[in-house]
Amino acid sequence: MAILPFLDEKSIENLNFLDAIGTWGRELEIENIVELPHWNSATEISISKFSVSAPIQKFFHFKNGSIFLKSISTDDIILMKNNSMNSPNFVEFNVYLSVKNTENQEFFIDKYGLPYFYQKYWTKYAAWFFKKDNETVLRMLIDSSNVLFERVGKESVPEGVLILE
């Protein structure tokens, strides 16, 4: 934080926060950082191994991101989904959770119906697809320790899977 105010805010595209030895799982207090103009100038963010304390809305302007949170509410997931749907530059955003939560999946099954189960690397996600524009969809993937939003081409939607409005 000490050096950031001295950098040209318009030259910042990516913000990466990495953990030091022995800091795994600690909360990174970024309340002051998110108020700097540098924060809003950046288009990509990565916060590894720390959970963050800032409201999820402070991350909405990033086109790509990856952060850790202790937990996330269904209301925040809906806010992220709606923001991702409305952002013309959005590509991908991943929220890792330090506290496992199966209630989010259950809520979205009730809200959107049964998901398509999608295997990505070693994780099996509940997946829902939402129409973004004529060529792309928003893929929302949820498991007990992850919430991932991805803008993908319509051809990525498995055959027979419903694209929600």
pLDDT per position as a tens digit, 95-106: 998 778 888 888
Contact 96, 68 (CB under 8 A): yes
Q: Give the model confidence (pLDDT) of 9-39 as tens digits.
A: 778 899 888 766 666 667 888 888 898 888 9
Domain housing 9: 1-70
123 within a domain of the structure (yes/no): no
Q: Give the model confidence (pLDDT) of 86-97 as tens digits.
A: 999 999 999 998
Which residues, 6 or more positions from 77, have their beta carbon under 8 angstroms from its beta carbon?
104, 108, 140, 142, 147
- pLDDT computed for residue 71 by the predictor: 87
Distance CA 86, CA 64 (A): 15
- pLDDT computed for residue 24 by the predictor: 62
82 within a domain of the structure (yes/no): no
Q: Give the model confidence (pLDDT) of 39-81 as tens digits.
A: 999 999 998 878 888 899 999 999 999 998 888 999 999 999 9
163 within a domain of the structure (yes/no): no
Domain count, the chain: 1
Which residues, 6 or more positions from 82, have their beta carbon under 8 angstroms from its beta carbon?
none
28 within a domain of the structure (yes/no): yes
Q: Give the model confidence (pLDDT) of 110-161 as tens digits.
A: 999 999 998 878 888 899 999 999 999 999 999 988 999 999 999 999 999 9
* pTM of the predicted model as reported, rounded to 2 decimal places: 0.89
Contact 95, 146 (CB under 8 A): yes
